[in-house]
Amino acid sequence: MTRTDQTLTEELGRRIGYTFHSCALAVEAVTHRSRGLSNNERLEFLGDSVLNLAVSQLVFNRFPQHPEGELSRIRAALVNREALLRIAQNLRIGELLRLGEGELKSGGVGRPSILADAVEAIMGAVYRDGGFEKAEVVITQLVAPLLEEVNPTVAQKDSKTQLQEWLQARRHSLPRYKLLESRGEAHDKTFRIACIVDELKIHTEGEGKSRRVAEQLAARAAYDALPATSL
């Protein structure tokens, strides 16, 4: 274990409110596959399940009178790529990522898909390091600000729908989505999509492992860029 690894582990722990016993797990959680064979993909796989279970319990306990369908929609709003990206940005996870030289030069520290995947990997690392109860505490703390924004009486609409309805209500033309880039092997492609609202001079981008995810992230960024006085 190097001093650099120890410093990274302590800083990651400080940001998420958890003290790691294993420095190796913490470092692995923020190491992208572009850096080498020992990367966070396996922890990401595990963290996805841990995150879903912890958020399911949180939503189940928080909304005791709501039926299964509403609980599913609330959970989806808290564990989707957009939510994970917001968590990553709030924690400034990009500053801690270990990337290969090529990925670093191409702006990987700010790439939505890499940031969202890192959050899942970090949750997987906490689970492996301290068990589910510790992971649940961390997840609850990180998700709490997003949960406060959820209206359980309203079906959660995706970002493309929210953006479209906002524009239609004000008689603006609908947004355009443009594929800017697709890269990677056929089984592991990454898409970069632009969302363009010509009348309002809004041009945002989203990136994800599918066109749908990339479009949703671009639409969320466009929705966030709408004139505040008209929201």
CATH code of the domain containing 117 = 1.10.1520.10
What pTM was computed for the model? Answer: 0.70
154 is a domain residue: no
pLDDT in tens, 39-54: 999 999 999 999 999 9
Identify the domain containing residue 85 by its residue range: 3-147
* CATH at residue 171: 3.30.160.20
Reply yes or no on whether 117 is catalytic.
no
**What per-residue confidence (pLDDT) applies to 179?**
96
Among candidate residues 117, 120, 129, 207, the one labeled active-site is: 120
Whether 153 is in a domain gets the answer no
Identify the segments of the chain with pLDDT beneath 70.
Answer: 1-3, 151-157, 228-231
Rounded CA gap, 2 and 179, in Å?
A: 42
Catalytic residue among 28, 44, 48, 117: 48
DSSP string for the chain: --HHHHHHHHHHHHHHT---S-HHHHHHHTB-GGG-SS-SHHHHHHHHHHHHHHHHHHHHHH-TT--HHHHHHHHHHHHSHHHHHHHHHHHTGGGG-B--HHHHHTTGGG-HHHHHHHHHHHHHHHHHHH-HHHHHHHHHHHHHHHHTT--TTSPPPPHHHHHHHHHHHTTPPPPEEEEEEEES-TTS-EEEEEEEEGGGTEEEEEEESSHHHHHHHHHHHHHHTS-GGG-
Give me the pLDDT at residue 54, please.
97
Please give the mean pLDDT across all residues of the chain: 90
The pLDDT, as a whole number, for residue 45 is 95
The answer to whether residue 113 is domain-embedded is yes
pLDDT at 154: 55
Question: Is 48 an active-site residue?
Answer: yes
